[in-house]
Amino acid sequence: MWLPAYATRSERLGRLFVVLFAVAVLVFLIGPLFVVFPLSVSKDPFFTFPIKEYSWRWYADFFENTRWTKSLVNSLIAAVFSTALATLLGTLAALGISRPGFPWRKAVMALMISPMIMPVVIVAVGAYMFFGALGLTDTRTGLVLAHAGLAIPFVVVTVLSALSTYDANLTRAGASLGAGPVSVFFAVTLPLILPGIVSGALLAFAVSFDEVIVALFLTGADQRTLPVQMFSGIRDQINPTIMAAASLLTTVSIALFVLLSLIRRVRRA
């Protein structure tokens, strides 16, 4: 399989083995994602296969229970606002960092990326303590600020990667034709890096929408997000309504992923 003509017989056998191994790993990767969907439409409250009877009752449960619907709305609100904030700040930062004369680039990048690698519990407890002193715990503002901080590195990295293929001569050309830096940005740079910015925004949205730990510490009953509601549910007693919630979260993730892939395709074409 995908071998040159001179390959020996044992090489072919070995290759077949490696390919089968890789396929097994890919099934291992993708399989668990699709466990929740069938269980969410099973009539049985037990998580057993094969499914005997299908029913939408768990989705009805989800949408009739205000605790679930409210948490979904809370998640959407937090994600929209933190995405807007992170995209604005992250894009500006990437524009600065990509300029040739940017000082202390390595240190600044190391700092910008650090929210990605920081143990989330430390972030969450720190925010709980600091925001608590400012009266921002149990508020939407606190959650949005913390989520925006977590999402900024994702925007910076994606926009920087879009800028790495941007030809700086285009900026010079715009300037030589008499446009000021701001009009050059909006007329030339922005349209070209827009796919990168949108990709970053999609990532930022996913980061906030899926985040559990910071939300667990920063939200009270009124701002509780969907993942927090799910987490407490699983800790308590896992029930099929959680499968419905998990399916909804996964659907949103897949939708964001498909959007991103479409943007990438447009960019390449």
Partner 1 sequence: MAQTMSLATPLSRPDLRAALRRAERPNRLRALALALPALLFLIVTFGAPIGLFLTTAVRNPEVRHILPQTVSTLDQWDGQGVPGEEAFAALAADLARAKENSTAAALGKRLNYESAGMRSRIMSVTRHLGSFADGPLAPQFIALDPAWADTELWAIIKRNGAPVTLYYLLTAVDLGQDATGGIGRVAADQAVFLDILGRTLWIAGLVTVATLLLGFPTAYVISLAPARVAGLMLLMVLLPLWTSLLVRTTAWVVLLQTDGVINQVLLALGLTTEKLQLMLTRFGTVTAMTHIQLPFTILPILSVMKSISEGQMRAARSLGAPPLAAFWRIYAPQTLPGVAAGCLMTFILSLGYYITPALVGGPRDQMVSNFIATYINRDLNWGMAAALACLLLVMTLSIYLAFLRIVGAERIKLG
State phi, psi for 139 to the nearest 5 degrees. -130, 160
Q: What is the CA radius of gyration of the chain?
A: 23
Residue 187 beta carbon to partner 1: minimum distance, rounded to whole angstroms: 18
Q: What is the dihedral of CA 12, 13, 17, 23, to 10 degrees?
A: 50
Could you tell me where the beta strands, DSSP code E, fall in 93-239?
Answer: none
Residue 154 beta carbon to partner 1: minimum distance, rounded to whole angstroms: 6
The interface with partner 1 within residues 235-254 (CB under 8 A) comprises 235, 238, 242-243, 246, 249-250, 253-254
Nearest to 229 by CA among 212, 217, 253: 212
> Which listed range, 61-69, 129-137, 165-173, 187-195, lies at the site for partner 1 (CB under 8 A)?
129-137
The interface with partner 1 within residues 1-60 (CB under 8 A) comprises 2, 4, 6-8, 10-11, 14, 18-19, 21-23, 25-26, 28-30, 32-33, 35-36, 39, 46-49
Residue 197 beta carbon to partner 1: minimum distance, rounded to whole angstroms: 14
Residue 236 beta carbon to partner 1: minimum distance, rounded to whole angstroms: 11
Which amino acid appears at position 213 of this protein? I
Q: Does 130 bind partner 1 (CB under 8 A)?
A: yes
Binds partner 1 by CB under 8 A, chosen from 76, 77, 84, 120: 120
Residue with tokens 């029930």: 239
**What is the 3 state secondary structure string of 139-176?**
CHHHHHHHHHHHHHHHHHHHHHHHHHCCCHHHHHHHHH
The interface with partner 1 within residues 214-233 (CB under 8 A) comprises 217, 227, 230-231
Q: Does 209 bind partner 1 (CB under 8 A)?
A: yes
Binds partner 1 by CB under 8 A, chosen from 79, 160, 201, 204: 160
Residue 259 beta carbon to partner 1: minimum distance, rounded to whole angstroms: 11
17 to 3, 29, 66, 191: CA distances (angstroms):
13, 18, 52, 47
Q: Does 187 bind partner 1 (CB under 8 A)?
A: no
